[in-house]
Amino acid sequence: MNNFIHQHQEFLPISINITDKKILIVGGGNAALTKVRSLHRFNVSITVIGIKIDPAFLEIDNIHIIHKSYDPSDLEGFFMVYACTDNKHTNEIIREHCHARSILVSLADNPRLSDFISPAIYKEGDMTVAVGSNGKNVKQSVMVRNNIKKNSGQDLEDGRGSEDNPDRIRVHLAKNPEKSNRNNKQKVIIAGFGPGDPGLMTLKTNQFLLEADVIFHDALLDAKFLEQYPARKIPVGKRCGQPHIRQNEINRLLVSAALRGEKVVRLKGGDPLIFGRAGEEIQHLTNNNIEVEIVPGITSVFAAAAQFRIPLTHRETGSSVAFCVGHNISNRSLPEADTLVFYMGASHQCEISKALIDQGWNRKTPVALISNVSNPNSKAVISQLDKLCKDQLLPDTPLLIIAGEVVKKMPEISGNIIQQEKRKMPLAI
Ligand X SMILES: C[S@@+](CC[C@H](N)C(=O)[O-])C[C@H]1O[C@@H](n2cnc3c(N)ncnc32)[C@H](O)[C@@H]1O
Nearest to 356 by CA among 388, 382, 380: 388
Tell which one of 180, 299, 339, 383 touches ligand X (CB under 6 A): 299
Tell which one of 59, 163, 262, 271 touches ligand X (CB under 6 A): 271
How far apart are CB 338 and ligand X at their closest, in Å?
A: 20
Q: How many residues of this chain interact with ligand X, rule: CB under 6 A?
A: 23
Is the distance from CB of 265 to CB of 208 less than 8 angstroms?
yes
Tell which one of 28, 196, 198, 261 touches ligand X (CB under 6 A): 196
How far apart are CB 138 and ligand X at their closest, in Å?
A: 41
Residue whose CB is less far from ligand X, 270 or 404: 270
Whether the upstream peptide bond of residue 398 has omega within 30° of 0, thus cis, is: yes
- The answer to whether residue 195 forms part of the interface with ligand X (CB under 6 A) is yes
How far apart are CB 208 and ligand X at their closest, in Å?
A: 17
Cα(379)–Cα(371) distance, rounded to whole angstroms? 5
Nearest to 46 by CA among 30, 56, 57, 54: 57
- The answer to whether residue 254 forms part of the interface with ligand X (CB under 6 A) is no
- The answer to whether residue 399 forms part of the interface with ligand X (CB under 6 A) is yes
- Give the angle 208-63-232 at the CA atoms, nearest 5°: 5
Is the distance from CB of 252 to CB of 282 less than 8 angstroms?
no
Give the x/- contact pattern for ligand X in 218-237, rule: CB under 6 A.
Answer: --x-----------------
Residue whose CB is less far from ligand X, 111 or 196: 196
Cα(254)–Cα(115) distance, rounded to whole angstroms? 38
Is the distance from CB of 197 to CB of 374 less than 8 angstroms?
yes
How far apart are CB 258 and ligand X at their closest, in Å?
A: 22
Residue whose CB is less far from ligand X, 34 or 247: 247
- Going across the sheet that includes 232-235, the strands are 232-235, 214-217, 264-268, 187-192, 291-295
Tell which one of 135, 166, 276, 318 touches ligand X (CB under 6 A): 276
Number of residue whose CB is nearest ligand X: 270
Footprint on residues 68-107 left by ligand X (CB under 6 A): none
Cα 271 to the chain's mean position, in Å? Answer: 18
- Pair type for strands 45-50 and 63-67: parallel
Range in contact with ligand X (rule: CB under 6 A) among 140-148, 175-183, 272-280, 350-358? 272-280
Is the distance from CB of 244 to CB of 237 less than 8 angstroms?
yes
Q: Both ends of the chain: CA-CA distance in Å?
A: 56
* 294 three-class SS: strand
Residue whose CB is less far from ligand X, 49 or 190: 190
How far apart are CB 269 and ligand X at their closest, in Å?
A: 5
Tell which one of 114, 186, 251, 371 touches ligand X (CB under 6 A): 371
How far apart are CB 404 and ligand X at their closest, in Å?
A: 16
Number of alpha carbons in the 13 Å side-chain half-sphere of residue 119: 19
Give residues in contact with ligand X (CB under 6 A).
195-196, 220, 268-271, 274-276, 299-300, 343-344, 370-375, 398-400
